[in-house]
Amino acid sequence: MADDSSPLVGLVMGSNSDWPTMKAAAAALDEFGIPFEADVVSAHRMAEEMIDYGRTAHDRGLRVIIAGAGGAAHLPGMLASVTPLPVIGVPVALRHLDGMDSLLSIVQMPAGVPVATVSIGGARNAGLLAVRTLASGDGDLAARLREQLVEFAADLSAQAHAKGA
Amino acid sequence: MADDSSPLVGLVMGSNSDWPTMKAAAAALDEFGIPFEADVVSAHRMAEEMIDYGRTAHDRGLRVIIAGAGGAAHLPGMLASVTPLPVIGVPVALRHLDGMDSLLSIVQMPAGVPVATVSIGGARNAGLLAVRTLASGDGDLAARLREQLVEFAADLSAQAHAKGA
Amino acid sequence: MADDSSPLVGLVMGSNSDWPTMKAAAAALDEFGIPFEADVVSAHRMAEEMIDYGRTAHDRGLRVIIAGAGGAAHLPGMLASVTPLPVIGVPVALRHLDGMDSLLSIVQMPAGVPVATVSIGGARNAGLLAVRTLASGDGDLAARLREQLVEFAADLSAQAHAKGA
Amino acid sequence: MADDSSPLVGLVMGSNSDWPTMKAAAAALDEFGIPFEADVVSAHRMAEEMIDYGRTAHDRGLRVIIAGAGGAAHLPGMLASVTPLPVIGVPVALRHLDGMDSLLSIVQMPAGVPVATVSIGGARNAGLLAVRTLASGDGDLAARLREQLVEFAADLSAQAHAKGA
Amino acid sequence: MADDSSPLVGLVMGSNSDWPTMKAAAAALDEFGIPFEADVVSAHRMAEEMIDYGRTAHDRGLRVIIAGAGGAAHLPGMLASVTPLPVIGVPVALRHLDGMDSLLSIVQMPAGVPVATVSIGGARNAGLLAVRTLASGDGDLAARLREQLVEFAADLSAQAHAKGA
Amino acid sequence: MADDSSPLVGLVMGSNSDWPTMKAAAAALDEFGIPFEADVVSAHRMAEEMIDYGRTAHDRGLRVIIAGAGGAAHLPGMLASVTPLPVIGVPVALRHLDGMDSLLSIVQMPAGVPVATVSIGGARNAGLLAVRTLASGDGDLAARLREQLVEFAADLSAQAHAKGA
Amino acid sequence: MADDSSPLVGLVMGSNSDWPTMKAAAAALDEFGIPFEADVVSAHRMAEEMIDYGRTAHDRGLRVIIAGAGGAAHLPGMLASVTPLPVIGVPVALRHLDGMDSLLSIVQMPAGVPVATVSIGGARNAGLLAVRTLASGDGDLAARLREQLVEFAADLSAQAHAKGA
Amino acid sequence: MADDSSPLVGLVMGSNSDWPTMKAAAAALDEFGIPFEADVVSAHRMAEEMIDYGRTAHDRGLRVIIAGAGGAAHLPGMLASVTPLPVIGVPVALRHLDGMDSLLSIVQMPAGVPVATVSIGGARNAGLLAVRTLASGDGDLAARLREQLVEFAADLSAQAHAKGA
């Protein structure tokens, strides 16, 4: 459906002030060679464009969406409501409440519309979860990613051992 | 813009399971003789209709929107993002977390898109806040409502006195 | 009821230490050309003056009150109890608890006396909510403000697009 | 200043629905033979009467005020702002949040206006704290109450021993 | 890799007392015709078997793991640490703290090991997220599931409309 | 019972690291000319001395105890259990949890043993509450303190007015 | 130091209303054949006896203390401050706050005086932790208990397997 | 079982970034002359080695394990599930939520697998609790440690007195 260079993951955030947090997702995708697109898509400042983004995501070849937002964080859940793709939500901590508002606004979705929520500020894990999702299927890409994930886990473990030595 | 019988307040909720909570808003509007419409408009299950509802609310003659939702409660904030009308949000407590998730999902809106949030389960106050909003303007309706609000406050006080006697 | 230069919004706070937070409400009102008055009105240090402020607000031509306070924040709710005007409450974060105490002290009002609560530190949204309230009525001011609100939303969206480009 | 039968403690609450909680304070005062008056004095539904109650409390011979309230609980703090008497606040748990909102609304008072806060629902302790306050002074009443408090503590201990036997 | 009847999803839980919550995940998988296996795999009572379960999951043909647990809920994160598959975590509310402990124990994973967390008690959404994951890939199954997901969303919307009628 | 210079208030704290917080209580007592003693009395590091301190406080002429402590803050409650005097508890915020642990450890006392709790870090209010307590009784000191409290409130109000001018 | 029948564990609680929670600790000790004594020892109602209990515990042959308490739960920490024995604290949930106050009052002890805290209501685990403590030493009892603990873990695992079958 | 120099306590942590917190446990063990080993053993990055560490701890002569971890902190509970030794858990505060997630992930263990939890960041107390555990048994080491603990408590008290002088 998508050639090797067309984006497979849509990485969106409610405000460009979320980028210092969200760029760790981009870095994780880069490490695994996953083509992605990154954009500001505000649920509240551009509601219709946001809906359009979600509605068309699949037909444009995206296979996973990562959405970061803070406070009353509506972006991940709203996107999930208009796409059949898996949507990964990243709670971004704002000035008050240390991200607890962001977490609850993202994770406590009603039955029917899931958001795959990661930890507060956990953009790197959002990227890695996108990789796992892409690796869970059939085909060459999935096979390559699975191998990379196994290596990745071995590296993590080796680093942990090295620190412990 | 609206005759006496066309609705001035749109009372919406994310699910009909919110009605036992939200009907107290309807009762308050009835007490003040405010025509309103009530409907289920789910942010997550009917996203485009929800956007349309907000977009057209003002042109249909509505002057205030009351929106109740629970959990990752996105309805009030999403409506506020597509209408110039004041939007009053009612956090509905669901099975877990006693409404704290609903409250934070509604009240912690980003700068630019306010939601007038009332207490957890505070639908009656949402109705009364809509009355105050309509009473704050010019014109006959506002004048009548102001008088009614003064009487209402006097009644509240009288009842409190009676209880204390 | 009020000429163009008499204040339509009363912007009050419990202490002048709240001004760094609350001035964002003043700025928002200025952007929309809304005349307002700003004052320190402490619920606890000048209780009777506070009650008087609320009691007379409407007759002095005010149409909306914005009240900011922190900790055991009683100012918004006490004002709401003595005026028929809509009262917008801004929870100000103090040294401890990050504004959670302020939020709950303002939003959890009993049935009968609503406060339109915005986010912790959300003074800008308080100003914008006052604008929406004034724009919800009949008359020339309301019509002008509605137009401005539509432009404002378009600007917000354009800025969001620009950031995303 | 007061004869033996004129009330020394003013026991007030925001609503008569608080009585099932607050009556334990009355019982404690009765056990120690302290004359008191009990009344509903709503901060929000009878603001001016509430202020009057506080303003005149001392001249009417009261020496301690106990005030119970729930949710955005403003009664204890507002009374404390208009009386030089010690005010004891009892957080009453309402339907949501289990009294945490009540507790923070009462205890987090700004510098200058203290409220002596007891536990959520701790009306019995409010009564006992009033007794301790009255017992801390000079005079016959204080002396009698101190003796009673020592006996009371001995009884508590004896009961605890009996349970442990 | 797997024929139509071999399980694609491993649905595990820390205790059979989690089943009343977790069966909603099974029901969702059934609705979409996804073969799955369900088992009790306790992180704490059968640690090595739990590790083995995770280690071998992919080679046994599983493509997604759903893990529910309560309290100090370690099962989802531990499984995620030994498998390259996406792991979906369901916080189960136990007797105290209403699932907040379960949520934080599951969602706050360290960088490197993501868990796709759904709402407290949100097992149905866990099942639907597994469907979305399987639908995100290439191949016939994915294509069929995507169609079903679009129908599912249309049904949700139709039901919401019907309730609102 | 005590001459003018013997201490009427015992100001104690669990650690000398609490002094930066607690000195505001001392300052308030000084402003009202109340003689007091200040000391470190650790519930956990000098349990028996702590019990002795409480046991003998009344006979040494103290009439109020102010106790500050942080974390698992046991000092105020333990002192209250061995003295008939009113005990005022000040929750001191430590490195983690922003004083919420201190607050709950102090305020949630069981029936029978009240602690008059003030806000997190609210040592100034603890001092003022001690003054109110001493002012609530009969005699010359009480009469003088009542007058001072009335002046104090007038000053607070005047300062608030000045800020608002 | 102790023969087989003299108690090795002191199981104490602040009130006999804690027994329905705490009896699970007794049951666990019985399962492992550990002699223990159980008693009500209230930190607040019998402070000196409580101190004596802790002071003498070791000389009476006790080797571990288990203490359960709720609300402002001071018993475990106070005992830990006067004994060199390991003290295990069990937070008991009372009517409000679901045990969060009990947990923080027990676990957040200052440096120097540790309490080994288990989960809210986790009395069974308190008993098992006492067994592990007794099993960690030298001697016949420790050797027997270690064997029993290994069997116990095998039984837990077998039960978990059986449930999963 | 172990000579004087072989480690009696295993001090492990999930990441070497936990060392600034955990070194206080090492210091406490050093003060009491307890030989220990310290290592990084990540539950999530080296799951099997972590299980092995726990499984073999007792046979290698360890008698207590201290485990520190942050966020979704699984290390203490997982170790406790595979060893009969007492496991002491130290919640390490990470960037968000101030250690509340770490605390709940460690302390809320299911029945059957206790973790002796200390305060957030309370590594020094973890070390002291290990000392108390070792001191609770029979034999020369226990006798020596008991004496040292008594001296230690006397020193703590003397220091507290000196601060209070």
pLDDT digits (tens, 9 = 90+) for F100-124: 999 999 999 999 999 999 999 999 9
For residue B89, is pLDDT > 70? yes
Token pair listed for B140 = 């006959």
Task: Give the type of residue at C160.
Answer: A
- Whether the per-residue pLDDT at H1 is higher than 50: the answer is no
Inter-chain contact H109–G119, Cβ cutoff 8 Å? yes
The closest of G71, G144, G54 to G105, measured between CA atoms, is G71
Residue H89: what pLDDT?
A: 98
Q: Which residue has the tokens 């403690």?
A: D9
Find, in chain D, the residue whose alpha carbon is nearest to that of C106: D72
CA E6 to chain centre: 17
- Is B101 in contact with B72 (CB distance < 8 Å)? yes
G72–D121 C-beta distance less than 8 A: no
Number of CB atoms found within 10 A of residue C6's CB: 12
pLDDT band at B1 (very low <50, low <70, confident <90, very high): very low
**pLDDT(A2) > 70:** no
Res C1 pLDDT > 50? no
Residues composing chain A? 165
Greater pLDDT, F162 or G152: G152
Residues D40-71 have pLDDT tens digits of: 999 999 999 999 999 999 999 999 999 999 99
Element (H, E) at G31: helix G19-31
- Please state, as a whole number, how many other Cβ atoms lie within 10 Å of the Cβ of residue D138: 16
Burial class (CB in 10 A: 0-12, 13-18, 19+), A154: exposed
Token digits for D12? Answer: 């007030």
In the DSSP assignment, the letter for residue H83 is -
A with F: 3 or more CB pairs under 8 Å?
no
- For residues H47 and E82, the answer to whether their CB atoms sit within 8 Å is yes
Q: What is the pLDDT of residue G138?
A: 86
Question: How distant is the alpha carbon of residue A105 from its chain centre?
Answer: 16
CB–CB contact C133 B136 (8 Å):
yes
Q: Do D157 and G45 touch (CB under 8 A)?
A: yes
The nearest CA of chain C is from the CA of A79 a distance in Å of 17
Task: Report, as an integer, the average pLDDT of C64-80.
Answer: 98
The answer to whether the beta carbons of residues C84 and C58 sit under 8 Å apart is yes
Helices (H), A18-138: 19-31, 47-57, 75-80, 100-107, 123-135
Q: Give the C-alpha separation, C150 to C135, whole Å.
A: 11
Nearest Cα to Cα of residue G139 among E41, H138, B128: H138
Question: D116-117 and D87-92: which strand pairing?
Answer: parallel
Residue B104 above 90 pLDDT?
yes
Average pLDDT score, chain G: 94
How many Å separate Cα A59 from the centre of its chain? Answer: 18
Report chain G's terminal Cα–Cα distance, integer Å: 47
- Cβ <8 Å between F96 and H157: no
C39, β-bridge pairs: C12
Q: What is the dihedral of CA E108, E110, E114, E118, to 10 degrees?
A: 0
Q: How far apart are CA C149 and CA A122, in angstroms?
A: 36
Around Cβ A35, how many Cβ atoms within 10 Å?
A: 15
Count other Cβ atoms within 10 Å, centred on residue E33.
12
**pLDDT greater than 60 at residue A110:** yes
Contacts of C75 (CB under 8 A, 6+ apart): C12, C13, C14, C41, C42, C43, C50, C67, C68, C69
Which residues of F fall within a CB distance of 8 Å from G109? 44, 71-72
Q: Whose structure tokens read 């405010």?
A: B34
Share of chain C above pLDDT 70, in %: 96
pLDDT mean over B59-72: 97
Cβ within 8 Å, pair B64-C103: no
Alpha carbon A68 to chain centroid, angstroms = 7
Physical contact, C and H (3 or more Cβ pairs within 8 A): no
Instruction: Using the predicted structure, report yes or no on whether residue B90 has a pLDDT greater than 90.
Output: yes
pLDDT digits (tens, 9 = 90+) for G39-57: 999 999 999 999 999 999 9
Kindly determine whether residue A136 and residue E137, on different chains, have CB atoms separated by under 8 Å. Answer: yes
Spatial distance between the Cα atoms of D84 and D65, rounded to a whole number of angstroms: 10
* Residues sharing a CB contact under 8 Å with residue G161, sequence separation 6 or more, in sequence order: E40, E46, E49
Judged by DSSP in three states, F4 sits in coil
Q: Is A163 on the interface with H (CB under 8 A)?
A: yes
Asked if the C-beta of D109 comes within 8 angstroms of chain B's C-beta atoms, the answer is: no
Q: What is the CA radius of gyration of chain E?
A: 16
pLDDT of residue H162: 82
* Identity of residue H140: D
Q: Which of B30, B34, B63, B3 is nearest to B144 (CA)?
A: B34
Distances (CA, A) of E30 to E24, E25, E124: 10, 9, 11
pLDDT digits (tens, 9 = 90+) for G119-149: 999 999 999 999 999 999 888 999 999 999 9
Kindly tell me if the per-residue pLDDT of F164 is higher than 70: no
Residues of H in contact with G84 (CB under 8 A): 132, 135, 146, 149-150, 153
Q: Which two tokens stand for residue G164?
A: 């999963």
Mean pLDDT of chain H: 94
Query: Complex ipTM, two decimals?
Result: 0.96
Mean pLDDT of all residues in D104-133: 98
pLDDT of residue H164: 61
State mean pLDDT over C20-29: 98
Query: In the beta sheet, which residues pair with residue E10?
Result: E37, E65
pLDDT of residue D28: 98
Nearest CA-CA partner of B107 in C118, E15, F94 = C118
| Residues in a beta bridge with H11 | H38, H66
Computed over its alpha carbons, how large is the radius of gyration of chain D? 16
Residue G160 has pLDDT above 90, yes or no: no
- Percentage of chain A beyond pLDDT 70 is 96
CA atoms of H44 and E109, how far apart (whole Å):
9
Per-residue model confidence (pLDDT) at position D138 = 86
Cβ-contact B68, B56 below 8 angstroms: no
Q: Is residue B152 within a helix (H) or strand (E), and if so which, with residue range?
A: helix B140-164
Residue type, A120: I
Give the model's pLDDT for residue E57: 97
Contact C112 D45 (CB under 8 A): yes
Element (H or E) spanning H90, and its range?
Answer: strand H87-92
The pLDDT tens digits of the residues spanning D100-118 come to 999 999 999 999 999 999 9
- Tell me the average pLDDT across B139-157: 94
Mean pLDDT, consecutive 10-residue stretches, chain E (165 aa), reads 76 95 98 97 94 97 98 98 98 97 98 98 98 94 96 92 69
Q: Chain C interface, mutation test: which of B136, B151, B152, B159, most C Cβ atoms within 10 Å?
A: B136
CA-based nearest residue to D54, from F153, E145, A19, E140: F153
CB atoms within 10 A of CB B27: 12
Q: Does D149 touch chain G (CB under 8 A)?
A: no
Say which of D24, D126, D149 has its CB closest to residue F84.
Answer: D149
Q: Is B147 left (phi over 0), alpha (psi -120 to 50) or beta?
A: alpha
Give the closest-approach CA distance of E87 to chain A in angstroms. 9
Q: What is the pLDDT of residue E5?
A: 82
Q: What pLDDT score was predicted for residue C162?
A: 82
Residue D1 has pLDDT above 80, yes or no: no
Average pLDDT on B67-92 reads: 98
Residue of higher predicted confidence among D97 and F159:
D97
Q: What is the DSSP letter of D117?
A: E
Give the model's pLDDT for residue E164. Answer: 61
Contact C157 A46 (CB under 8 A): yes
Q: Residue C164: which pLDDT band, with cuts at 50, 70 and 90?
A: low
Check residue B93 and give its pLDDT: 97
The residue among B78, A14, A70 whose CA lies nearest residue C160 is: A14
Q: How far is A156 from chain E (nearest CA, A)?
A: 8
Among chain G residues, CA nearest to F101: G104
Q: With a cut of 90, say whether residue H11 has pLDDT above it.
A: yes
Cβ partners under 8 Å of residue D19, min gap 6? D13
Q: How many CB atoms lie within 10 A of CB G57?
A: 24
F96 in C contact zone (CB under 8 Å)? no
Chain E contact for B52 (CB, 8 A cutoff): no
Q: By the 8 A CB rule, do B108 and B82 touch? A: no
- Name the residue in chain H with its Cα closest to that of A152: H45
Is residue D15 within 8 angstroms of chain B, CB to CB? yes
| Cβ of residue F39 closer than 8 Å to a chain H Cβ | yes
Cα angle G12, G14, G17; round to 5: 100
Order the strands of the E9-13 sheet from edge to edge: A36-40, A9-13, A64-70, A87-92, A116-117, E116-117, E87-92, E64-70, E9-13, E36-40
Residue C160 C-alpha from the chain's centroid = 25
Average pLDDT over residues D11-31: 97
* Structure confidence by residue, pLDDT tens digits, G63-72: 999 999 999 9
